[in-house]
């Protein structure tokens, strides 16, 4: 499938790091919300949910843990190691690239959507702006020619 002697470009290294940091932070925060849906573990008051459809942080915590936590860490591994697993290929709309490439796009888009929805309900703070541009950076790096070449499948 791939010639693993091909060196990983710096863009892949940075993309992997962005995905790992996103995943670790989201899994930590999501885990804290799952463990304590009242938000006390990370000093997040329930009053932050006043304008949302949620009465506590359990559902947002589950989404945060899996969608922005576990998933980006799994994709970071996948783009780094490019495993030859067949089942993810079934979901890959970009058949000429390793499935992890599409996974990176999804991870970046998920973060952008998460933040965009969040700021509809909450007051915008610096962390929202940072996370929004973090998602943009993930998408932008995924779209760079060097990452696309790195993920291209060999015929």
Do the domain assignments include residue 2?
Answer: no
Mean pLDDT of the chain: 94
Do the domain assignments include residue 82?
Answer: yes
What's the pLDDT tens digit per position in 86-122? 999 999 999 999 999 999 999 999 999 999 999 999 8
Percent of the chain with pLDDT over 90: 90
Do the domain assignments include residue 103?
Answer: yes
> Which of 2-16, 38-52, 139-153 is predicted least confidently?
2-16
| pTM over the 0.75 mark | yes
Do the domain assignments include residue 141?
Answer: yes
> Residue 30 — left, alpha, or beta (φ > 0 → left; ψ -120 to 50 → alpha)?
alpha
Give me the pLDDT at residue 7, please: 85
What's the pLDDT tens digit per position in 26-62? 999 999 999 999 999 999 999 999 999 999 999 999 9
Do the domain assignments include residue 5?
Answer: no
Which domain, by its residues, includes 37? 10-151
Tally of structural domains, the chain: 1
Is the CB of residue 66 less than 8 Å from the CB of residue 22? Answer: no
What's the pLDDT band for 83 if we cut at 50, 70, 90?
A: very high
Do the domain assignments include residue 86?
Answer: yes
Report the b/e string of 27-39 with b at 16+ CB within 10 A: bebbbbbbebbeb
Do the domain assignments include residue 130?
Answer: yes
């Amino acid at each position: 499938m791939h010639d693993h002697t091909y060196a990983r470009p710096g863009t892949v290294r940075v993309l992997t790091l962005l995905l790992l940091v996103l995943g670790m932070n989201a899994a930590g925060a999501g885990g804290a919300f799952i463990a304590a849906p009242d938000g006390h573990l990370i000093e997040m008051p329930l009053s932050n949910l006043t304008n949302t459809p949620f009465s506590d942080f359990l559902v947002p915590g589950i989404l945060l843990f899996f969608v922005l936590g576990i998933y980006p860490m799994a994709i970071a591994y996948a783009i780094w190691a490019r495993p030859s697993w067949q089942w993810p290929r079934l979901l890959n709309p970009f058949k000429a690239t390793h499935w992890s490439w599409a996974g990176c796009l999804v991870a970046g888009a998920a973060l952008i959507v998460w933040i965009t929805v969040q700021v509809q309900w909450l007051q915008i703070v610096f962390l929202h702006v940072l996370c929004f541009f973090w998602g943009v950076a993930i998408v932008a790096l995924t779209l760079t020619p060097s990452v696309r070449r790195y993920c291209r499948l060999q015929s």
